[in-house]
Structure 1
Amino acid sequence: MARRLKPVTLDFADSAPLRLVFTRAMDAAPEAVYRALAEETADWPRWFAAVTACRPVAGGEGREVRLRGGTRFRETVLAAEAPHRYAYRIDETNAPGPRALLEEWRLSPAGTGTLVRWTVAADGPAPLRLLLRAGRGGLGRAFRGAVTRLDRRLTSGGRAPG
């Protein structure tokens, strides 16, 4: 069932044994991107294909997330700094292997749009680190697809499903 992970702090995004960092430019403004990430969490499945459910818990201080394939996460929001940073650590998961996981979304103005940087910080045994490194390409494609779909949603004006 669910396993408890190490309760890391925000500095883990910079100090984790494994860090995967992805960036992509968007046309949408940082305020709109931040709102979609941090405040409209139930809409994540509409634009992030790997996510099947995402809901806030503990009055917005945490989230419960389900991914395709059955992986589940219970998370604690560590940073909700509009419109520049949204970060959360995974406290519990049914995924085997990780000892600690944290994800950080950094948003920077880029002209009239936003430069998005997503960091996945992890710790676990060598086989998990190897698997994550090998899966970097797939994670990158998932990130690029998600950001592209989110940008379409945010710039279409109609907020139509991804």
Structure 2
Amino acid sequence: MARRLLPVELDFVDSAPLRLVFAREVSASPDAVYRALAEDVVGWPQWFSAVTLARPLDGGARREVRLKGGTRFLETIVAAEPGVVYAYRVDETNVPGIRAMVEEWRIEGVPGGGSRVRWTFAVDAPAGVRVGMKLGRAGLGRAFRGAVEALDRRLAAAPA
């Protein structure tokens, strides 16, 4: 981990210079989605194909995450409200150019059952890096859709 980022908090999700927001409805309940996000951190590689390793640290207050291609993050959980929100800020990464980053997963029930999952990717970085991230929005969107669909299938197949 070569780069230490700014220690922003959850409100950064609303004030970040770059916010990429993706949403998808799934058949799983908000509680089931939350448990998969926050309580089964080691299970992330099973449904989020970009993730090669995810493990909780410090009793779940922090996480280590590795992605395909060698990207690494050390994160601190900044919000954990069962069935509602799970969010973390990146404290350290090997990604150049990023000054601050928070990812927020919002979950809300939908009429008739299921959940709406919204992922906000909030970043502060120099203008050139932000432009590159905006250009990569479609790829992040595909990764999010694929991950949430795989998570929904995983949760549907899990014993009750």
TM-score tier after normalising by the smaller chain length: over 0.9
For 2:91, give the aligned amino acid.
Answer: D
> Is residue 2:34 matched to residue 1:34?
yes
How many Å separate the matches in 2 of 1:2 and 1:58?
Answer: 21
Partner of 1:157: 158
For 2:151, give the aligned amino acid.
Answer: L
Q: Deviations over 1:28-75 (max 9, x none)?
A: 000000000000000000000110000000110000000000000000
How many Å separate the matches in 2 of 1:134 and 1:158?
Answer: 40
Q: Tell me which stretches of 4 or more aligned residues in structure 1 moved more than 4 Å.
A: none
Unaligned 5+ segments in structure 1 are none
For 1:11, give the aligned amino acid.
Answer: D
Pairwise CA distance, 1:157: 3.0
Partner of 1:18: 18
Pairwise CA distance, 1:158: 4.9
How many Å separate the matches in 2 of 1:118 and 1:137?
Answer: 14
Partner of 1:83: 83
Pairwise CA distance, 1:156: 1.8
How many Å separate the matches in 1 of 2:104 and 2:118?
Answer: 8
Partner of 1:2: 2
Q: Structure 2 length as normaliser, TM-score?
A: 0.97
Q: Structure 1 length as normaliser, TM-score?
A: 0.96
Provide the secondary structure at the position in 2 that maps to 1:23.
Answer: strand
How many Å separate the matches in 1 of 2:39 and 2:78?
Answer: 14
> Is residue 2:118 matched to residue 1:117?
yes
Aligned residues: 159
Query: What value does the CA root-mean-square deviation take over the aligned residues?
Result: 1.0
Provide the secondary structure at the position in 2 that maps to 1:127.
Answer: helix
Partner of 2:143: 142
Provide the secondary structure at the position in 1 that maps to 2:23.
Answer: strand
How many Å separate the matches in 2 of 1:64 and 1:20?
Answer: 22
How many Å separate the matches in 1 of 2:10 and 2:118?
Answer: 15
For 2:116, give the aligned amino acid.
Answer: L
